[in-house]
Structure 1
Amino acid sequence: MGFTKTLLIGLSAGLSLNLGFGFARADQLPLVDKTRPNVVFVLTDDQDLHLDSLQYMPFVRKHLIEKGTSFNKHYCTTALCCPSRVTLWTGRVPHNTNVTDVSPPYGGYPKFVNQSLNDNYFPVWLQQAGYNNYYTGKLFNAHTVLNYNDPYPRGYTGSDFLLDPFTYEFLNSTFQRNQEAPRSYEGEYSTDVMAEKAYGFLDDAVRDLENSPFFLTVAPIGPHANVHTTVYSETNKTSVFTEPIPAKRHEHLFKDVKVPRTKNFNPDQPSGANWLLDLPQQNQSNIDYNDHFYRQRLRSLQAVDELVDGLFTRLEEYGILENTYFVYSSDNGYHIGQHRLQPGKACGYEEDINVPLIIRGPGIAENQETNIVTSHTDLAPTFLELLGIPLRDDFDGRPIPLTAEGLKRPENSRREHVNVEFWGGAIGEGIYEPQVHPNHTYKAVRLSSPEYSLYYSVWCNNEHELYDMTVDPGQLHNLLAADGSPLEGEALIAGRSVSSVVSRLDALLFVLKSCKGDTCREPWKQLHPAGNVETLADALRTGYDEFYAEQTGVNFEYCAAGYIIDAEGPMWETDSLMTRDGAPWYEWV
């Protein structure tokens, strides 16, 4: 029997949507245990930080930015939906979850299940700690109308998940509630459907506050591209990526808005490495379409903005806002035209990996910004610490400091690095480049401190990139030749030559490419076990030049579509450290 939406799940066009139950006044609520806080987490899909999308969300600004703390240096470790979300819910980087793609065999919900992660991730830990846990929206890619119950995702008191192949169809979504069969909402706007579901779960959570606090996640698809799948089975699909679709009430907005014309927008000269160097400059028709694509993203976010306002309105009516943390983020960032790229993600550049993170709640500083470096590996540890749940030994991240006192620490004393990784291909979205660029696998490290701002990467074809983002924030001027050797005539970085800096970054990235736990959090300690080096600035001391000249760097054997050890090249081993007369190097330097 051929697959059709009607045959599998039926149509519900024209059915009224009334999932909320109305919310009670604070004086009508049951006795609330305020010793344990609640959390509302809104997780958008592909939302940028560098293309100004937050500036067009007045309710996010009113309720979150002006009443909470914005983390300007928050990063995903893989700029792709499913690997990023698995990292977020496990506190582990993709090479440790081995979920590295959006679909099998290297990723997606089936890979998540096969890695035994359905029994060992944040929702399960949350329930074990006595929290009611509710979720509506997108969970993972390849979570479908065919496998939604094979098995059901664990850890939820109430769930209503978007399902593939209809996840990204703004006007043709399919949701699957609790243990029920999937249901179609054809003709209804996806974010509005989800908002009602979120409000209903909030009602449920409040009714049981006397017994359990709650964690509510709302994961809309905006501002992701609209994706229409024309052929679908478990092993084959044909999908078309076009611009997002806004709600009817928002179609008229932002008529003259364009993609920010930064220096790296459609530059006169190609930039980057690998296949990016072959990208042609976009013509005016292409630019006009990308501006339209950008406006559609902003329009699609207006329903998300209204959803945020609706959640805050209800929290205030319930009288529980003062005991609730509200967190706003996105799985990964997005580019449109930067480096001549068509709309999309998957690159290691700042537009794709630096994502929104805003937190409001008890003890959180209001209307504050911080440049403390954080990543998605830190969110699960942060949530556990906020809720008084013991941290886990296998976390690759650590709790984010949230209080005003914690934020006063020097911004490089906590951590200055984020390891970034990717496997497989990169897809261009929209009408001008519906193709996959293969051999897009790379390892990278992003460092940010008051003294320097750097991005260093090694691609699977072993081409290298280094950008001094203090003077080149758009990452247009690669300081390295393809083989990793410094180009002539480049300026100093942090007072040292480019070659001296690269030798340190190469050793750091070599440790990070296979790190686990403490090694991910404190990679310099692997290179300097005495603990006297905690930052790149420490490592740049001239006394360490000989040591770093001898260290192994990242080198791929071949380009692979997933995390295949044979392709990864040499791996870090502590016994590879240089010795002299039997003594470890750090005792004689």
Structure 2
Amino acid sequence: MSEARKRSRAAGIAKLFAAGLSVAVVVAIPGLIAQPAPPATGAEPVVGAASAPAGAAPTPDSSRSPVPATAVVDLGVGQIKNVVLLLADDLDWPLFDEVPRLAALRQAGTTLTNFVVTESLCCPSRASILRSQYVHNHRVDSNVPETGGGWGTFYRLGHQKDNLPTWLSAAGVTTAHIGKYLNGFPGRRLDPAYLPPGWDHFVTAVRGGGSPYDGYNYSLNSGGVISRHYAGPYDFLEDVLTADTNRWLETATTPFYLEFTSYLPHAPAPTAARNLGSRAGAQAPRAAAFNASGTYEPQWLRSLPPLAPAQLAGMDLLWTRRLESAETLADSFDAIMAQLRTTGHLDDTLVIVTSDNGYHVGTHRLPSGKHTPYREDSVVPAVLIGPGIPAGTVVDSMTSTIDLAPTIAIVLGAAVPNWVDGRDLLPLVAAPGTVPWRTGVLTENLKATLPGDPDYSDFEAPTYQALRTEDYLYVTYGNDAVALYDLRTDPDEINNVLGSTSPAVVARLAAQLAALSVCSGPGCRVADSL
């Protein structure tokens, strides 16, 4: 971005008023079938409370919110004593809606139609979930430490000492993480058996085998015990993680927080044998943006040629593989929901189902991938299910992954730092349209992915910062290009109307994006409402 653009953006920051509340997004999924599991491994230590992060990004205030440490919070949506987060990897709305068991969640709970990720890339997004911060604040802005991201950067900044699990642990909440954590965990300098603070039960894939994205031939850190898994009938990673989750739920004590973080349907879209061939012959959705170049698009999109027939066939094959992988994901979600019901926890547990980011398959003439500001990459599935949560309803207000940690912490009675950027979603879900709320959400891409990054693409978008509101998507690229899409008339986001939109509207959007792009903590909860 040019210095002139930076000065212009800074000059456009509106005067900030009083700050708002904290945050969260909640989602859930109904019943599935449990799978057999290998023997459990190891015991998990109870880790202590949070401390101030060494070398963390500057924050305006490290004090905590006055939420009682052991309260059972009733925000008008019922008594919730536990929270379960079911997090997919690269699950977009079109794919979600093509899997009947996932799509059925729209009727089972409250759907958040504008749930926006802070960055459409695994590790920056997951850091935002854990810290409730935009990427420019937590500074984990890629997947690998070589470019300022990954677990290595999260650890170097001390974020592992002050994030959602440590807040909950300090409040006496039992915590469990099972599945994908942060890219590159635990790095080369830490022992593979390392356990991050705050987790009473911790299971994730580590170095010492093949890639967990393949589903087989991987190593697990299970509570500090390393186990090697190969290609046997009970070694498929998704099933191993699901079985571990359900064993943990058998003895879980209230209050608890459980996050099941799947590796599915991330490329290469591993699929359980039972689901292979279940969606053979599927075709990638031919929405208006598919293989399309709109009007007045930024140069990086205008320069793309139409996808060739061989590429289109490849898109259909990839879509089929992702569909079958998502069926396996639905198996896991069903099994966990069934176990919650069996153990008697379903009636007092808030279940959150969402994804770290979305994924595009052939839209905007981009073959496949993510990391763009467009809806298929940056607006992800989110449905809320739990005691008192309205079923079959829709909330169109602007929500974000930064809203997860505050919501979870508040409902479980943990104190939330004042430096978080997000808001508590439960009041919004309980009474949509009556709660003062934000008007826009920020999505960022501060660094390009490079070869060696698990999400590297030959069709990388330029760096950008984007403001998404209910009516508009406004994007400023690092190469000084600007794009504006009117979502009321162009929901597929293919026609840049910057030149034909009222200058007053453009100025207002530019000012709000300018404010959000440099905001921090309480200031973000003002800038998002300008």
Q: TM-score range by the shorter chain?
A: 0.7 to 0.9
CA distance 1:148–1:225, shift in 2 (3 Å): farther
Q: 8 Å contact 1:270–1:279 — kept in the other structure? A: no
Q: Could you tell me whether the CA contact under 8 Å between 1:76 and 1:84 is conserved in 2?
A: yes
The answer on 1:92 being equivalent to 2:133 is yes
RMSD: 2.6
| Partner residue, 1:116 | 158
Residue number among 119, 140, 143 corresponding to 1:102 in the alignment: 143
Matches of 2:273 and 2:429, distance apart in 1: 42
Residue 182 of structure 1 and its aligned partner are, at CA, apart by 4.7
Cross-structure match for 2:330? 305
The correspondence for 2:206, drawn from 156, 163, 173, is 163
- Measured in 2, the distance between the counterparts of 1:375 and 1:177 equals 30
Report the count of equivalent residues.
453
Offset at residue 435 of structure 1 (A) = 4.5
Partner of 2:307: 282
Distance 1:281 1:46 in 2: 24
The answer on whether the counterparts of 1:223 and 1:300 sit within 8 Å (CA) in structure 2 is yes
How far did 1:419 drift? 0.8
Alignment-mate amino acid for residue 467 of structure 2:
V
Alignment of 1:107-506 (within 5 A): 107-144=149-186, 146-147=188-189, 149=191, 152-163=195-206, 166-187=211-232, 188-205=235-252, 209=253, 212-226=254-268, 244-267=269-292, 272-402=297-427, 405-409=430-434, 413-425=436-448, 435-437=457-459, 440-448=462-470, 453-480=471-498, 486=499, 490=500, 492=501, 497=502, 499-506=503-510
Cα deviation 1:525-564 (Å, max 9, x = unaligned)? xxxxxxxxx55xxxxxxxxxxxxxxxxxxxxxxxxxxxxx
**CA deviations over 1:383-402 (Å, ceiling 9, x no partner):** 11211223320010110135
Q: 2:295, 2:449 → 1: CA distance?
A: 17
- Distance (whole Å) between structure 1 residues aligned to residue 229 and residue 188 of structure 2: 14
Query: Could you say if the C-alpha distance between residues 435 and 89 of structure 1 is closer, same or farther in structure 2, counting changes exceeding 3 Å?
Result: closer
Change (3 A) 1:447 1:467: same
| Match among 477, 497, 513 for residue 509 of structure 1 | 513
Bigger RCO of structures 1 and 2 (CA < 8 A, at least 6 apart): 2
- AA paired with 1:170? G
CA contact (8 A) 2:115 2:398 kept: yes
Give the Cα separation in 2 of the matches to 1:478 and 1:82: 30
Which residue identity is paired with 2:263?
Answer: I
Q: Is the 8 A contact 2:118 2:444 kept in 1?
A: yes
Q: Which range moves more in the overlay, 140-149 or 510-519?
A: 140-149
Letter of the 2:411 counterpart: L
Q: Secondary structure of the equivalent of 1:181?
A: strand
Residue 283 of structure 1: CA displacement?
1.1
Cα distance, 1:426–1:260 mapped onto 2, change above 3 Å:
farther
Residue range with higher mean Cα deviation, 265-274 or 336-345: 265-274
Instruction: Answer with 108-117 or 387-396: which moved more.
Output: 387-396
Distance 2:108 2:427 in 1: 13
Structure 1: give runs of 5+ residues left out of the alignment. Answer: 1-14, 22-32, 227-243, 481-485, 525-533, 536-589
* Counterpart-to-counterpart distance in 2, 1:478 and 1:269: 8
| 8 A Cα contact 1:129 1:389, kept in partner | yes
The residue type paired with residue 19 of structure 1 is A
C-alpha distance in structure 1 between counterparts of 2:392 and 2:98, whole Å: 15
Structure 1 SS opposite 2:397: strand
Q: Which string of whole-angstrom CA distances, capped at 9 and with x for unpartnered residues, describes residues 232-261 of structure 1?
A: xxxxxxxxxxxx132111112222321111
**Distance (Å, rounded) in 2 between the aligned partners of 1:407 and 1:427:** 42
* Structure 2 SS opposite 1:351: helix
Residue equivalent to 1:8: none
Paired residues of 2:98 and 2:323 also in contact (CA < 8 A): no
Note if contact 2:133-2:421 (Cα within 8 Å) is conserved in structure 1.
yes
Amino acid at match of 1:443: Q
Note if contact 2:369-2:457 (Cα within 8 Å) is conserved in structure 1: no
What letter is aligned with 2:437? R
SS in 2 for 1:513: helix
CA contact (8 A) 1:20 1:197 kept: no
Query: How many angstroms does 1:404 deviate by?
Result: 6.0
Q: Secondary structure at the match of 1:249?
A: helix
1:344-380 Cα offsets, whole Å, 9 max, x none, are 0000111111001111111211121111210011111
Q: Distance between the aligned counterparts of 1:421 and 1:523, measured in 2?
A: 15
- Secondary structure (helix, strand or coil) at the match of 2:212 reads coil
- Mapped partners of 1:102, 1:455: distance in 2: 25
**1:522 and 2:511 equivalent?**
no
Quick one: distance in 2 between partners of 1:93 and 1:257? Answer: 36
- C-alpha displacement at 1:189, in angstroms? 1.8
Q: Deviations over 1:243-287 (max 9, x none)?
A: x13211111222232111111100166874242222111011111
Partner in structure 1 of residue 7 of structure 2: none
Cα distance in 1 for partners of 2:510, 2:107 equals 40
1:54 aligned to 2:54? Answer: no
Cα 1:403–1:447 shift into 2, 3 Å: closer
CA distance in 1, matches of 2:419, 2:223: 30
CA distance in 1, matches of 2:507, 2:145: 37
- Quick check: which has more Rg, 1 or 2? 1
Q: Which runs of 5+ in 2 are unaligned?
A: 1-35, 43-70, 73-78
SS of residue matched to 2:362: coil
| 1:478-513 CA-partner distances (Å, limit 9, x unpaired) | 123xxxxx2xxx3x5xxxx2x222122222111111
Deviation at 1:185, TM superposition (A): 3.7
